[in-house]
Amino acid sequence: MRFDQRHLLGIEPLRPDEITTLLDLAEQYVTLSRRREKHSNVLSGLTQINMFFENSTRTQASFEIAGQRLGADVMNMAMQASSIKKGETLIDTALTLNAMHPDLLVVRHPHSGAVDLLAQKVNCAVLNAGDGRHEHPTQALLDALTIRRAKGRLHRLNIAICGDIAHSRVARSNILLLQKMENRVRLVGPSTLIPAGMSEFGVEIYDDMRKGLEDVDVVMMLRLQKERMDGGFIPSEREYYHRWGLDADKLSHAKPDAIVMHPGPMNRGVEIDGTIADDINRSVIQEQVEMGVAVRMAAMDLLARNLRARPTELSA
Amino acid sequence: MTATLLTNARLIDPAADTVTDGAVLLRDGFIAEIFDQPDPQVADADRIDAGGAFLAPGIVDIGVKVGEPGDRHKESYKTAGLAAAAGGVTTIVTRPDTGPAIDTPEVLEFIRDRAEDDAPVNVLPMAALTKGRAGREMTELGFLLDAGAVAFTDCDHVATDTKVLSRALTYARSLGALVICHPQEPGLSKGGAATSGKFASLRGLPAVSSMAERMGLDRDIALVEMTGVRYHADQITTARALPALERAKRNGFDVTAGTSMHHLTLNELDVSDYRTFFKVKPPLRSEEDRQATVEAVRSGLIDIIGSFHTPQDEESKRLPFEEAASGAVGLETMLPVLLRLYHSGELELPTLFRALSLNPAKRLGLASGRMAKGAPADLVLFDADKPFVLDRFKLQSKSKNTPFDGARLQGKVLATFVAGTAVYRSA
């Protein structure tokens, strides 16, 4: 069991065995989280700062609960309200925070690569909670854990990722992770929302959702951002729902035991029919939220172990 | 004025496409004589033994950004001039994308005075084609021409109003002026920080299709056909644009094209983990595009190579990739960087200097750029093999934003002569 990362900036730098290590540890945290007494002290004495330059309720809450369950001192900073409005650069913000000696820094930023940039300037472990359209590694890890628990394995599965791939960091991280674990990945969506060069990633691309869902084990839906709906990328919300919204008819092309996933928050009636989202035999959407906390606990635990193994003067 | 005799040199003549051993006599600012023996006897001349190094016509660099007016903290005429001299660039042709833009004769005269006082190399200014480079009203092209503008360009601002542009080109045509455009389809390329493809998708960067360059060039060529203007495309960087350029030349239009040192030596993968010093405009392309661009320089389809020297301070580069400023400094690094193409066997030295010196001088109607008796004694003496590791903090430019920091390069400028006077000698 090895995990050699200093930060969790993306899925791209992770080895398959590191992913397995993290998911195995997360299983233990699922068990812990289901007990009445949910507390552990593996992060006690450590300071976790959540820095969100972009609005988020769910991911931020998930990271906050994960840190608190492990005994860290957790602090939230709503960055969109504070210093960037005063003209401070990202690096200055990072240096200011660094002087407060955090141990774990959880960052979300609207620009691709911004979290990498910040990680170069601080001494603590940085967790990427989503950067632009680049990566959202904990989302891909929680999706992987959900799939592994539902399907009993995380390899040789047919998985369809559907919807707005172009603007989705969730899609990128998932494609990378699922391919590292040797699954077949299909992308399904309107060609305006499939980024260029995607076929070179070794994925199959489908415009027709019924064909794209043929015999898949997992259907992963993506959120369609409101601002993409009117005319720019797709003709209209109702045409999108007709062609790429997940309903019972389209889902019937997948394997009978195929699971349905969604990273949330959902637009019912836009990308997914409400009754499918609520179908406890198919939908694992609530389970994904639960796995999110466990995966984030595991990620912070592993990074903290590496942090504690380093000489203290480096983190001073 | 005393004469200087450069002996034991290997003379690069881009017009004749030759490299020969010989010596050159510089007198009164001009090349007074070229000898085919390495060590001729000449009375009353200072002798400089080149020790077998290459001597070539000095580089004429079209499209250099100097921070005056507006951004003097990024680059002044003095520092740009020193960087040019250290890089073997004997003539810099400056861009008007300053703050304010160089769009009136008054601003043009101001910067000409600044340049004459401070820069050790020749400085020739370009002026904006439209006021404020906004693409709405043409500038006083006639007055600007009289004040010394050598070409007109709105730099990376692409006119969206084709009617305005066509009138400006028609007016420029009547003056016989050269117009330089940035071939990009402005709508398609809006917001793009990388070239669309696998790499940009993996990094999640907003991307522009390489087709935007082809579309921009197609439009410009149609306007050339319509107006008859003398036209130069500042940078052609994609394989897809080359057939359109080839067709325009074959049809006899007065069209030339340039490309940048960066697009000849780097590709999109060099951006790696969001390294903003590799953010240039247009963005770096695929390796196939790079190779096609090098081949187009070799064949002569692309006429001119420039550094597109764009100084940026650390603050404007230490930002997330999308927000970071575009551009790289290149005056001082261009020759050693391009010598990579010589060492790799992709380009011969006369070919390189055809694109660096001869063709840009010709396009601007300058007498320089030639290894010929009677030509201005603007020359660069360099050792093509000397290895070194580039340290950006040792550059003469005020701004240190080079993508080649830490790069292993081969080739150093030993001396640069402007009008027969050494403006740079290596230590």
Identify whether residues B193 and B321 lie together within a single domain: yes
Q: B31-48: per-residue pLDDT in tens?
A: 999 999 999 999 889 999
Identify whether residues B107 and B212 lie together within a single domain: yes
B404, part of any domain: no
A314, part of any domain: no
Contacts of B273 in chain A (CB under 8 A): 113, 116
Domain residues for A263?
Answer: 135-283
ipTM given for this complex: 0.88
Residue of chain B whose Cα is closest to the Cα of A167: B204
Residue B155: pLDDT over 70: yes
In chain B, how many domains are there?
2
CATH number of the domain within which B32 lies: 2.30.40.10
Q: For residues A272-289, give the mean pLDDT.
A: 96
How far is Cα A86 from Cα B54, in angstroms, rounded to an integer?
A: 55
Identify whether residues B31 and B72 lie together within a single domain: no
Identify whether residues A101 and A208 lie together within a single domain: no
Identify whether residues A276 and A153 lie together within a single domain: yes
Per-residue pLDDT, B122:
98
Reported confidence tier of residue A141, pLDDT bands at 50, 70, 90: very high
A313, part of any domain: no
A258, part of any domain: yes
Per-residue pLDDT, A316:
41
Average pLDDT, chain B: 97
Q: Indicate yes or no: CB of A89 within 8 angstroms of CB of B319.
A: yes
Beta-carbon count within 10 A of A315 CB: 13
- DSSP code of A272? B
Identify whether residues A225 and A98 lie together within a single domain: no
| Residues B328 and B277 sit within 8 Å (Cβ to Cβ) | yes
Q: For residues B171-200, give the mean pLDDT.
A: 95
A116, part of any domain: yes
How far is Cα B22 from Cα B8, in angstroms, rounded to an integer?
A: 6
Identify whether residues B48 and B131 lie together within a single domain: no
Indicate the length of chain B as a whole number.
427
Per mean pLDDT, which range of A182-196, A230-244, B144-158, B233-247 is the poorest? A230-244
How far is Cα B327 from Cα B314, in angstroms, rounded to an integer?
A: 12
Per-residue pLDDT, A55:
85
Identify whether residues A65 and A181 lie together within a single domain: no
Coil, helix or strand for B218?
A: helix
A312, part of any domain: no
Q: Indicate yes or no: CB of A195 within 8 angstroms of CB of B203.
A: no
| Predicted TM-score (pTM) of this structure | 0.93
Alpha helices in chain A (DSSP H): 16-34, 58-69, 90-98, 114-119, 137-151, 169-180, 209-212, 237-244, 248-251, 274-277, 285-309, 312-315
Per mean pLDDT, which range of A265-274, A288-297, B140-149 is the poorest? A265-274
How far is Cα B322 from Cα B205, in angstroms, rounded to an integer?
A: 7
Whose tokens are 């404007």? That residue is B316
Residue A87: pLDDT over 80: no
What are the Cα distances from residue B34, in Å, to A93, A125, A308, B8, B425? 62, 66, 72, 12, 22
How far is Cα B349 from Cα B335, in angstroms, rounded to an integer?
A: 11
Which residues on chain B place their C-beta less than 8 Å from a C-beta of chain A? 196-207, 209, 273-274, 315, 318-323
CATH number of the domain within which B344 lies: 3.20.20.140
Residue A83: pLDDT over 60: no
Q: In degrees to the nearest 10, what's the CA dihedral of B107, B109, B111, B113?
A: -150
Percentage of chain B lying above the pLDDT 70 cut = 100
B146, part of any domain: yes
Q: For residues B215-230, give the mean pLDDT.
A: 98
Domain residues for B381?
Answer: 3-55+377-388+409-425
Q: For residues B182-188, give the mean pLDDT.
A: 95
Residue in B78, B298, B282, B252 with CA at minimum distance from that of residue B188: B282
Identify whether residues A260 and A122 lie together within a single domain: no
Q: Indicate yes or no: CB of B320 within 8 angstroms of CB of A90.
A: yes
Identify whether residues B8 and B83 lie together within a single domain: no
| Residues B177 and B204 sit within 8 Å (Cβ to Cβ) | no
Per-residue pLDDT, A64:
97
Residue in A195, A189, A191 with CA at minimum distance from that of residue A212: A189
Contacts of A133 in chain B (CB under 8 A): 204-206
3-state secondary structure string across B84-103:
HHHCCEEEEEECCCCCCCCC
Identify whether residues A157 and A193 lie together within a single domain: yes
Contacts of B315 in chain A (CB under 8 A): 89
Q: In degrees to the nearest 10, what's the CA dihedral of B238, B65, B341, B284?
A: -40
B368, part of any domain: no
B154, part of any domain: yes
Residue A38: pLDDT over 60: yes
Residue B326: pLDDT over 50: yes
Coil, helix or strand for A296?
A: helix
In chain A, how many domains are there?
2
Percentage of chain B lying above the pLDDT 90 cut = 98
Locate A95 and state its tokens.
């240096």
Identify whether residues B150 and B288 lie together within a single domain: yes
Q: For residues A225-229, give the mean pLDDT.
A: 72
Per-residue pLDDT, A315:
45
Identify whether residues B36 and B90 lie together within a single domain: no
Residue B192: pLDDT over 50: yes
Residue A314: pLDDT over 70: no
How far is Cα B275 from Cα B2, in angstroms, rounded to an integer?
A: 49
Identify whether residues B180 and B214 lie together within a single domain: yes
Identify whether residues A164 and A129 lie together within a single domain: no
| A172: contact with B, CB 8 A cutoff | yes
B402, part of any domain: no
Identify whether residues B420 and B351 lie together within a single domain: no
Q: For residues B355-380, give the mean pLDDT.
A: 98
Identify whether residues B51 and B100 lie together within a single domain: no
Nearest by CB to residue A116, choosing from B197, B273, B315, is: B273
How far is Cα B271 from Cα B283, in angstroms, rounded to an integer?
A: 10
Residue B415's DSSP bridge partners are: B381, B425
| Residues A190 and A231 sit within 8 Å (Cβ to Cβ) | no
Identify whether residues A176 and A215 lie together within a single domain: yes
Residue in A297, A294, A307 with CA at minimum distance from that of residue A146: A294
B144, part of any domain: yes
A316, part of any domain: no
Reported confidence tier of residue A94, pLDDT bands at 50, 70, 90: confident
Identify whether residues B187 and B256 lie together within a single domain: yes
Residue in A224, A271, A222, A225 with CA at minimum distance from that of residue A246: A271
Residue A19: pLDDT over 70: yes
CATH number of the domain within which A22 lies: 3.40.50.1370
B291, part of any domain: yes
B152, part of any domain: yes
Reported confidence tier of residue A171, pLDDT bands at 50, 70, 90: very high
Average pLDDT, chain A: 93
What are the Cα distances from residue A204, in Å, to B24, B72, B81? 64, 52, 54
| A113: contact with B, CB 8 A cutoff | yes
Q: Taken in order A292, A297, A300, A305, is the CA torsion positive or negative? A: negative
Residue B382's DSSP bridge partners are: B54, B413
Determine which of A11, A89, A112 to mutate to test the interface with B (most B C-beta atoms within 10 Å): A112
Identify whether residues B117 and B128 lie together within a single domain: yes
Whose tokens are 């430019």? That residue is B397
Q: Indicate yes or no: CB of B322 within 8 angstroms of CB of A116.
A: no
**Sequence ranges of the binding site of A for L-aspartate:** 86, 169, 223
Reported confidence tier of residue B175, pLDDT bands at 50, 70, 90: very high
Per-residue pLDDT, A85:
60
Per-residue pLDDT, A312:
63
Identify whether residues A20 and A140 lie together within a single domain: no
Per-residue pLDDT, A226:
75
Residue of chain B whose Cα is closest to the Cα of A134: B204
Nearest by CB to residue A112, choosing from B203, B315, B318, is: B203
